[in-house]
Structure 1
Amino acid sequence: MRTKRYRKAALMGLTAAALAGQAAAAETEMAEVLVTGDKLITPSMQASETVYTGSEITPKGIELQGAKASTSVYSALDMLPGINVESPDSTGLAAEMSSVRVRGVRSSMGAMTVEGMPNHGGNPIGPRDYLYDMENMRGISIYKGAIPGDIGTGIGSRGGAIELRPDWPGKGFGLRFKQSLGSNSYTRSYVRLDSCPAAETGTAVSGSYSFSQADKWRGEGELGPRNNANVSLSQPLSEKADVKLWYNHNDLDQHLYRPLTWKETQNLSANYEKDFNAARSGLAEKDFEYYDYNRGTYENNDLLAILTLRASDSLRFTVKPYHTREDVEILQGVATVVTPSSGASSSGTSTSAGSSSSGGAAVPSSTYSVQKRLRDIKHTGMVAEAMAEQGDMKGTLGYHLESSDSSILTENYALTGSGLAYRGYGRMTVGEDNDYINSPYVKLAGTRGAFDWQAGLKYFHYTEAASKGYISDKTAPYSLKRAADIDQNEKTLDIWLPTAAAAWRFSNELEGRASYGKTFIRPYSYLPLHNIYSQNRATFLAKGISLQDLFAGYDFEQADIFDIGVRWTSGMFEIAPTFFYGKHKNLLTTIYDPRVDLNYQQNVGEATGYGLDVEMNAYLSSNLTAFINPTWTSMTYDEDLSYAGKRRATEGNQVIDTPEWMVKTGLIWSWQQFELAPMLRYLGERYADAENRSEVDSAFVADLRMSYLLPPMLHSKEMKLSLELNNLLDEEYISSITGSDDSRGGQSSFYQGAPFSAMLIFSVRY
């Protein structure tokens, strides 16, 4: 167990005393000082709209999130209400191990785009938030309710939609450099160079590169190296036309953190630094938890072009072709737990820290292995738009087309005394064609006096190609042979997605607004259904059930979301409370099939979510700003669920990993070249199971940011030295919970929150 750092208590006491003294001084000066302050969150809307339905985190808000916000999109949004971002690490380098929920819905159900180019993948489904250097972005917006039709939703928008806007070249020569050093050998170097527009052609180019790496804070292994390169070009073609090109390359290696089981969390202090084994033992039941058998390599390349033609002052056309590719290999130790049938039976595959049992009298047996998950995913698409404006009316007509070529496979390896021995794929499905998205949309917006309105309609049509199934021969060399029962037919799904919003400006300071939107997520979680079928193939075949029969029950998840809010702005404060309400249906939920005495997932669940999130800044003086962003969320199942033929008491229970209360608050105090920003995050009680029996304690996490503007040297525009202290009080708490919304007790896994860490950052800008 770690020794507590007593100096932190003293540090907090000194910080509080300093702030209290400054606040008292500010009270006597307010009448004489012109109040100004940094905006951290601002309202956001898409092009050709009139009503603010989203929120944008400003560059100052991103800066306050610290070093982790440089390499993680979700971490950059952490201060916003309604968003719960929890990670096992404080560096932002731990890919695909975070838990992020937007108003109780997992972010993997949401959308992320770069100027309309979707970012999404499979196994796991959802956006990859670790691909970009955030210094290359001029803004990040998130829409938690109604999703504008021109945001390329990719796989869906039930978990909200994020839009990233690149910082394009063209403003003139610029050079930026940032060097970060910190705890656990953390290092990050970032440099960006912008050219001046060429005198004759107007061509402007920018290029950036970053290198990041850190040791894991517990156990053996590293996060990184992470290499990121970005190139963008802006080229005028005429007075009315231009083209922009954007290319991003991200390459990351990492060792994984070992999650805890529920039992291990019950003695958190004793298990806080528990991780994978540092050395091999030669025993399979131990070596599946060897740290070098739990690691991944991730490579992504994204290319986007934007061609713009301004036919007139009121008519504009844009075409955005894009191509993305993801190439990933992940090694992961696996314990396969099989419980013999006893009234009900279950079998499943769990990661090294997971657990799975039916809870009956039968004694489960386990086998241990290592799996290599392979992802080779290519998306090629185009977004075309026409935008027109006439008087007080605006309109957008667009079309999104995408073709996806995805190869998602799993190789199996046996654990031997000498290492790993290849044991084939187990099974494989080979697509006969690409998958396709066809999605036209239209938006209209207008203004009449103090009244703003907008409405839109999007049609989403998804075609999933047919595939042929194969299984591995169980004898060497484990070649594949046809298995028609795991074939899948071509599947087409479509949905209409309406949106509407209105706002009324009561005065220059007060505005009311309301919005509605339908959101969705295409079918996902294919691997668990493949696993349950493969492990019980003989049982299913004996009842005449094929894998296609199981997938016939997969459909779009859908939600109808309503927001009502106000924004009140004065010279002293800004406050924007929003009440939200959502009906969610066709949720992927575990059902019991008495024909085969097994449980598997189908789209049959329903849930209701509602709550209140508040954005608030208070400008207490010209050099003191306070912010407080609380959230209250209720996200519950509408009915009891069933498992193994028995009713589970889930109606009205909070879904897992969704605290009813969250608060993010802090102060920003500046004096001459010095700035001090203490911050506090409160994460309320959560549950790790749908029956709300496994309660995870609440946590308070304090952070501190300090910066000093150095005197300009060597003709620089700005030189800054910053210090960030994360988890200042060294709080031991559960950060991330991994599991499905309908998880039973013992199914979820847990990541410990990172302990105290310090980072020193030097930046210079020319």
Structure 2
Amino acid sequence: MKQKVILMSLMATLSILYSQDTYTLEKVTVSNESDGGAIFETDNKDNINSQGFTKEAIELYSGPVGMSALKVVGMSPSVDYQPAEIFGSNETSFHDPLRIRGKNQSGPGGVYMLESLPISGNPGGGKTMFDMENFSGIDLYKGYAPVDKSLGFSNLIGKVDLTVARPKKEMETQFAQTVGSDKTLRSFLRFDTGKMDDVAIFGSFSKTSGDKWKGEGDLDRKNMMLGAVYTPNDNFKTEMFVIHNEDNHHNYYGLSYAEAKDLDTYAKKDWNRVSSVGSSNYYDWNKQSFKDTVLTANVEYRFVNDSVMRFKPYYSKDKGNYWFANDAKTREIEWLIDHDRYGGVLEYEVPLNDELSMKMGYWRGRQEPPGPPSSRRLYTINASGQLQYAGWNILAKNQYHEFNSPFIEFCGERDRLSYSLGIRYLDFKLAGLKNYTFGTNATTSSDYDTAIAQGTVDEWGSVDAKTFTEWLPSVYVGYQLTHNIDIYFDYARSYGYDVNLFPTYVTNRAKFVAKNVTLQQLWDQQKLELSDNFDIGMKYKSNGIVYNPNLFFTKVTGKQANVYDSHYGIAYPTNSIDAMSYGAEFAMSGPLGESVDVLASLFYNQYYYTEDFQTSAISISSIKGDQIPDAPMYGVKGALTYKIENFKFTPIVKYTGSRYGNVDHTQKIPSFTTVDFDIDYRLPKIKGFKSADVKLSFINVFNKRYIASIITPDNALAADTTQPTYIVGAPFSAYLSVGLTF
């Protein structure tokens, strides 16, 4: 208890390096002339309420292996990101350990955007496709986002938008090497050509490897990125960025609730080291492997009236597989992932007068499932403890999800007032699918194309495409009360859709057929999940410190739950329940003096269903008003960078409040506090080098045992057959990094 009091006092004293971007008429950049480690930009370039992380903040908070932008935005209030290890890669096929204001990602939408383009999704790979050295900034959008920065299958929880660090004007080589605990080894190399006439290019390569911190298994990741910019004159610019990432790693075992309550005994429990008859708990059958390629471009022309036309095409390819056990852990499932997404944004921006500008555009996109899942092979474990093909767990042929979305936005400033008004129309075609699962067995070909060609369509479990349409308005108003105080209000509507209905129907087909219910009947009733998000806040600047309190409220309609339908006499997942989220956030950041930078954030967050729902013919849930699972109600984060001569010392403290594994609150996980500590030393000027740095990183300094994330749906009940599983956070670890620029 004494240690916890000391740590909480340290958090309150240190605060944390985060700032909430809100519009001000005066451009304010919080930075430290002494090259501090906690530099944060607080000016707003887009009349929006967002949160931005600069290059320096990315370097400080991305961790010793620099593979996850989510670790950076995890310093923001109301953002809870708890990976199983420092790589940030070990989410399961069903769960990404990220919540923003209590919400997690629904459906196959992705939170990542690259240069405001929707290049990511879930399930699938790509969670580690970014080397943080290649990015100059990260913008975090929570409830509010401009009409052109919220694109994708879903934007319910917000977006994380990465800005590429453009090729340098002069030739430069950057090299970094990291070694550390659990055989961690990472090498990074980037070469910039410098500007060659009208062209500048950079290319990078990295290789990362390491063992799991418990049990058998490892990670192996390779990443390549190429960027090119062509600027023949001041009016025309063409940019192109290509990323290719290969990630292979083993997953961590999820504990039961009984085990999670006794971490002294079970913290290091993991998958079996050897295969055994009848059990799918073998470590090498619980893994994932993906190859991801992303291509984006920007063609931009500026006219004489300062209007700008942009065309931004994108393409991403995601191919690989998940291996995981069935619920009873008696069979093994191989989920094949092979999908792509592509599209483009055409945008025209024009100043109408000194006080008003207009932006209008059109997004066209296509995205291939999963989700929902379309190809899962099933295996039994034979008498020799080996996998034996047993047919298809799911076999379906999908169409593409399609998006057509025009938008328009007006923004500007007058005297002390700043404003932005936008609206986007969404035409979203949810892909139809033909189900071939029924009737397949071990004699069915294990080749997907062959199985489809030789299979029979199951009319009970097949559906036509379904189209959703929705208007998505957004409003931002900011007012400068004094030269150092700004207040703001914003509103935006966001959307999403969970795709759990199809796999639920296929798995329980016999029950639905017995009730004479087709999937099409249920499909026709589905609707989007919508969130109406409101923020009101203030930004106060004093002596270089920015203080940012913020209140938020969200009304959710059409949230998914497994609801009993009395008309059909059966329960199934449907988007029909209402929910609500509200809370308070506080952030501060800036220099305390010439030698100290500080950042602090804290939050209070309520997110809950506003109604009970029927779970069976005779049962009704009693969860109204109960906090959603795995969503902490409180959180505090703090960091301080102290500089003396060529040294920088940065302690980072995070407190995460208690959470529940189910929505009826019978499985409680206690709060926890972790402390990280970085020591950075910039070597004196070395001939032939622009800079040289040595960094020591200590993670979880006090070796705290804690539950990092909970794998559970938001509507999980204590009576459900499938129970939550609990992922343990990493213990103490240490890393040494050397960086050279020449």
| TM-score > 0.5, shorter chain as reference | yes
Q: Which amino acid aligns with 2:113?
A: T
Match for residue 711 of structure 1? 684
Q: Is the 8 A contact 1:583 1:609 kept in 2?
A: yes
State the alpha-carbon separation in 2 of the partners of residues 561 and 488 from structure 1: 32
Match for residue 18 of structure 2? none
Alignment of 1:136-147 (within 5 A): 136-147=134-145
* TM-aligned CA deviation for residue 235 of structure 1: 0.9
Q: Is the 8 A contact 2:179 2:736 kept in 1?
A: yes
Match for residue 17 of structure 2? none
Q: Which amino acid aligns with 2:344?
A: M
Match for residue 355 of structure 1? none
Q: How many residues align?
A: 696
State the alpha-carbon separation in 1 of the partners of residues 111 and 253 from structure 2: 28
Is 2:531 the partner of 1:559?
Answer: yes
- Residue 402 (structure 1) aligned to one of 322, 347, 365: 365
Is 2:729 the partner of 1:753?
Answer: yes
Alignment of 1:153-552 (within 5 A): 153-199=151-197, 202-223=198-219, 225-281=220-276, 283-284=277-278, 286=279, 288-336=280-328, 352=329, 368-389=330-351, 390-406=353-369, 408-418=374-384, 419-431=386-398, 433-471=399-437, 472-474=439-441, 476-477=443-444, 479=451, 480-521=455-496, 523-526=497-500, 529-552=501-524
Q: Which amino acid aligns with 1:398?
A: G
Q: Is the 8 A contact 1:583 1:608 kept in 2?
A: yes
Match for residue 764 of structure 1? 740
Q: Is the 8 A contact 1:303 1:322 kept in 2?
A: yes
* TM-aligned CA deviation for residue 321 of structure 1: 1.3
Match for residue 78 of structure 1? 74
Is 2:559 the partner of 1:587?
Answer: yes
Q: Which amino acid aligns with 1:742?
A: N
* TM-aligned CA deviation for residue 34 of structure 1: 9.9
State the alpha-carbon separation in 2 of the partners of residues 37 and 532 from structure 1: 52
Q: Is the 8 A contact 2:147 2:409 kept in 1?
A: yes
Match for residue 361 of structure 1? none
Deviates more, 1:536-545 or 1:593-602: 593-602
Aligned to 1:270, the other structure's residue is in SS state helix
Match for residue 60 of structure 1? 56
Deviations 1:206-249 (A, max 9, x none): 000000011000000002x1000000111124442121111000
Name which structure has the greater RCO, CA cutoff 8 Å, separation 6+.
Answer: 2
Query: 1:102–1:742: structure 2 CA closer, same or farther, 3 Å change rule?
Result: same
State the alpha-carbon separation in 2 of the partners of residues 709 and 426 from structure 1: 55
Aligned to 1:306, the other structure's residue is in SS state strand
Aligned to 1:251, the other structure's residue is in SS state strand
State the alpha-carbon separation in 2 of the partners of residues 708 and 383 from structure 1: 44
Match for residue 696 of structure 1? 669
Is 2:650 the partner of 1:677?
Answer: yes
State the alpha-carbon separation in 2 of the partners of residues 569 and 264 from structure 1: 48
Q: Is the 8 A contact 2:515 2:570 kept in 1?
A: no
Identity score, percent: 24
Aligned to 1:505, the other structure's residue is in SS state strand
State the alpha-carbon separation in 2 of the partners of residues 241 and 595 from structure 1: 61
Q: Which amino acid aligns with 1:695?
A: K
Consecutive unaligned residues in structure 2, runs of 5 or more: 15-31, 446-450
Match for residue 622 of structure 1? 594
* TM-aligned CA deviation for residue 598 of structure 1: 4.3
Q: Is the 8 A contact 1:736 1:752 kept in 2?
A: yes
Aligned to 1:321, the other structure's residue is in SS state strand
Query: 1:246–1:66: structure 2 CA closer, same or farther, 3 Å change rule?
Result: closer
Q: Which amino acid aligns with 1:231?
A: L
State the alpha-carbon separation in 2 of the partners of residues 477 and 399 from structure 1: 44
Q: Is the 8 A contact 1:674 1:708 kept in 2?
A: yes
State the alpha-carbon separation in 1 of the partners of residues 225 and 193 from structure 2: 14
Q: Is the 8 A contact 2:58 2:137 kept in 1?
A: no
Match for residue 112 of structure 2? 112
Q: Which amino acid aligns with 1:518?
A: R
Consecutive unaligned residues in structure 1, runs of 5 or more: 1-8, 21-32, 337-351, 353-367
Q: Which amino acid aligns with 2:186?
A: R
Q: Is the 8 A contact 1:226 1:251 kept in 2?
A: yes
Deviations 1:504-537 (A, max 9, x none): 112221111110111111x2233xx334323432
State the alpha-carbon separation in 1 of the partners of residues 103 and 425 from structure 2: 23
State the alpha-carbon separation in 1 of the partners of residues 676 and 168 from structure 2: 37
Match for residue 609 of structure 1? 581
Q: Which amino acid aligns with 2:735?
A: M
Q: Is the 8 A contact 1:88 1:752 kept in 2?
A: yes
Q: Which amino acid aligns with 1:673?
A: N
Q: Is the 8 A contact 1:193 1:208 kept in 2?
A: yes
State the alpha-carbon separation in 2 of the partners of residues 748 and 276 from structure 1: 17
Deviations 1:359-389 (A, max 9, x none): xxxxxxxxx2111101111112110000111
Match for residue 662 of structure 1? 635
Query: 1:216–1:608: structure 2 CA closer, same or farther, 3 Å change rule?
Result: same
Q: Is the 8 A contact 1:88 1:98 kept in 2?
A: no
* TM-aligned CA deviation for residue 466 of structure 1: 2.8
* TM-aligned CA deviation for residue 425 of structure 1: 1.6
Aligned to 2:284, the other structure's residue is in SS state helix
Match for residue 546 of structure 2? 574
Query: 1:34–1:751: structure 2 CA closer, same or farther, 3 Å change rule?
Result: closer
* TM-aligned CA deviation for residue 596 of structure 1: 6.7
Q: Scaled by the length of structure 2, what TM-score is found?
A: 0.90
Match for residue 29 of structure 2? none
Q: Is the 8 A contact 1:36 1:621 kept in 2?
A: no
Q: Is the 8 A contact 2:111 2:121 kept in 1?
A: no
Match for residue 26 of structure 2? none
Q: Which amino acid aligns with 1:468?
A: K
* TM-aligned CA deviation for residue 619 of structure 1: 3.1
Aligned to 1:76, the other structure's residue is in SS state helix
State the alpha-carbon separation in 1 of the partners of residues 387 and 320 from structure 2: 19
Query: 1:650–1:163: structure 2 CA closer, same or farther, 3 Å change rule?
Result: same
Q: Is the 8 A contact 1:111 1:155 kept in 2?
A: no
Q: Is the 8 A contact 2:59 2:133 kept in 1?
A: no
Match for residue 643 of structure 1? 615
* TM-aligned CA deviation for residue 597 of structure 1: 5.8
Root-mean-square deviation (CA, aligned residues, Å) is: 2.3
Deviations 1:308-351 (A, max 9, x none): 11112521100011111100211112234xxxxxxxxxxxxxxx
Query: 1:383–1:592: structure 2 CA closer, same or farther, 3 Å change rule?
Result: same
Q: Which amino acid aligns with 2:79?
A: I
